[in-house]
Amino acid sequence: MTEPHKLDIRAILDRLPHRYPFLLVDRILEIEDGKRIVGIKNVTYNESFFQGHFPIKPVMPGVLLIEAMAQVGALLLIGTIEDRSNKLVYFTGIDGARFRRPVEPGDQLRIECEVLRLKSRFCKMKGRACVDGQLAAEAEFMSSLVDV
């Protein structure tokens, strides 16, 4: 069994095609290949979505919480793939999404994803996003590995 490992922003950029303003992962704290991953998203007031959601009381949109979970999950899947420069992980479905507390500027999201089912090009994961130990969002989501 391999030890959990980490990824900094340079390694994340090497593995994901997302870029500003749509990259929603800042650091990976733990990866257990094929099993689970823990990532961080630092939520700042400078995020482009806060200009319109909502200027009076900024709240991170729920759909972006789900996207952040999907990006962390994609890092788990793409990490062990050979020739990953020619592959993409597509988000293909979501079940049971629930939003438990608002995420505001200054919050740090801790995103944990675990594999529920993994087949050759298909994966189902459970994701949880927490702020200060409080659950902010959770969902099960599916993704598929595709050729570029």
List the catalytic residues: 53
Length of the chain: 148
DSSP annotation string for 1-33: -PPPEEE-HHHHHHH----TTS----EEEEEET
